Amino acid sequence: MSAPMKDRAAALFREVQELLCSQLETLDGKARFGRDAWDRPAGGGGLTRVLADGAVIEKGAINFSEVGGAAPPALKEHLEVESDTFFATGTSMIFHPQNPHAPTMHANVRYFEAGSTWWFGGGLDMTPYYLYEEDAHAFHRAIKDVCARHPVADYPAWKAWCDRYFHLSHRGEARGIGGIFFDHVSGDPEALYAFVGDLGRNLLTAYLEILAKRKDTPFTPEQERWQLQRRGRYVEFNLIHDRGTKFGLQTGGRTESIFVSLPARVRWDYMAEPAAGTPEHELLSLVRGEPRDW
């Protein structure tokens, strides 16, 4: 008899964390991920791994968590579940590169149970500071390839969901060039487990190639300033809109691990608008327009 799905999912997400840390360390060539194991007093714990001041990555984090126990009232109301207990496990990651020509990337895969209710969720998206269309195409092509291997995956629907989700409504801007987002997906558990495993192991397939291509591109202080300004939008989304942030806080998660996704450096310059015809304005026109099919 196979192990319960929650145990298999947790083991998978631990494996994904170790694999992706190794892949990114190899590319960076300088910094290494630390290991910060933590316990949740109400039940469970996790392992937060952070890489800082690398040759390629200014700050990166790959988190694993496995938490459960009594379901707080706010969580029950938010998720519309009847059970008084819950279990959640997942791996989430964020990479803020040094070079403004290299994009930020976020991804996660997760599994949730409450009584007889269960589901998988996850996704990934990319946030460039300068638009390289070939990078956007390569990123989405890699996602399409994984989805195409699994009939339970729905790239067109999940791509549209991602475009809706990673949108700063208070700014009228997309966070970046999208990716996929899926949540509360149930059905065939074995097929979904296989898909999430394939996706998790390939989360960095395209991103590592993009980083390798852009990491040594020369840049100016003005371009770095633009990068830091755009990181401000990333912070705004995570603090105002992100479900993962809210879930972690509602379930008594570890604050340092929840906010580890935030960049080490950021700027908010008042009324900072690039001039028309500049590469910076080109990016703004993209994120303020209708989502594109890459």
Residue-wise pLDDT tens digits, 209-260: 999 999 999 999 999 999 999 999 999 999 998 887 887 787 777 888 889 9
Q: Which domains does the chain have, with CATH numbers?
A: 5-287 (3.40.1500.10)
Alpha-carbon span 167 to 101, nearest angstrom: 22
Tokens of 29: 């060539």
* Strand partners of residue 109: 91, 122
pLDDT digits (tens, 9 = 90+) for 176-205: 999 999 999 999 999 999 999 999 999 999
- Report yes or no: 151 and 191 within 8 Å, Cβ to Cβ: yes
Is 90 exceeded by the pLDDT of residue 39?
Answer: yes
Average pLDDT, the chain: 93
Most confident range (mean pLDDT) of 113-117, 153-157, 252-256 is: 153-157
Task: Give the span between the Cα atoms of 78 and 110, in whole angstroms.
Answer: 17
- Contacts for 73 with CB less than 8 Å, ≥ 6 apart: none
Digit-coded pLDDT (tens) for 66-108: 999 887 776 656 666 667 788 999 999 999 999 999 999 999 9
106 is catalytic: yes
Strand partners, 181: 123
Which one is catalytic: 106, 140, 167, 184?
A: 106
Residues 27-50 have a mean pLDDT of 95
